[in-house]
Structure 1
C-alpha cells in the first residue's frame, strides 16, 4: 500500500509515511502477480511446444523407409514449426504488453483487466525493460472522461481535505456578547474587567 492509501485508512501523515516505507521494503522481494502470470504462461507454452516437437520426431521416425514421404513429412513439420514459432512470439508479445499495461494501471484503475481491454494496444510501446514507454496516457484521457467510474479518484492532500470555521482569535465578533475569556491573556482579562467596572 502507498502513503495515500494509509492516510485514507485514517493514519497520520507521519505514520502513513512509515507504513508505506515498511510496506515497500516488505514487497521488494516479491514479483507482481501480472509478471508471474506472464512468465508462467510463457513456460507453459514452451513446454507445449517441446511436447509437440517430440511427437513430430516420433512420427518422423515411422516414415524413414520412403524418401519422398520423408521429405514431404519434413517440409510439413518445418511449416508447422514456423507457424507455431510465429504464434508463440505473437502470444508472448501480447502477454508482455498486457502485463506492462496492467502494472502501469495498478493503483489507478479499479480493474486493470477491464481498462486494458478497452485500449487500442497497437498505439502503446514498450521499452527494453518491458515497461510502458509511451502512448498510454493519450489513450487513458478520453477513457477517464467517458468512463471515469473505472478509475480510482485522486486523493487530495490531507491538509486540504478538512474545511470548517476558523478558531476564534479572542475578540468578540458579536456586539454586546461576552468575549471568550479562555483565549485572553491575563493582561487582556484585567483590562476588560476594568472597562466593564468603569461602565457601572
Structure 2
C-alpha cells in the first residue's frame, strides 16, 4: 500500500501541494526524500551516462586504429633513432681524430698543418685512445721528402752566464767603495 492509498486522493493532493518545491514523493515505496538529494542523484546518473558514451566512442576509435601501422611506425622511429645515434657517434669520433691529428702535427713542429695533412694517408691512421697509430711513419716519410714543411730543429744555444764584477761575497775588499756611504760618513 502506498501513501496515496493511505491518505486518499484529496488529502494526498493537499500534502503534495503543501510540500511543493521542498520535497518529492517517491511513489514506488512511499518514502519522501529531499528534492536536492534527488536532483544530485539525477545529476550523477547524467554524468555516468556521459562517461559511458565517451568510453564507447573511445573504444570505437581504438577499433579503427590499425595495429600493424602503429607497429610499422614504431619500427621506423626506432630505426631513425638508431641511425641518428650512429651518425652522432661517427661525428664525435671524427672530431676526436681531427683534434688528435692537429695536436700531433703541432707537436711534430709542422709549419703548415693543412699541407702536411693533405700529404697524409688518413685512412691508414687510426685513433687508439689518445695516440694516432701509423702517423709517425708517415711523418718521417714526409720529413725526408718535404723537409720545408717542418721547422728545423736547432740545437739550443747555451745560455750565457752573466757575472757582475766586484766582490761576490758582498764584503769590502779593504776600502770604502760605496760613494754614498763615503758621503754619509762625512756628515756623521
Q: Larger Rg: 1 or 2?
A: 2
Larger relative contact order (C-alpha < 8 A, sep ≥ 6)?
A: 1
Q: Above 0.5 in TM-score?
A: no
The interval holding the TM-score normalised by the smaller chain is: 0.3 to 0.5
TM norm structure 2: 0.42
TM norm structure 1: 0.40
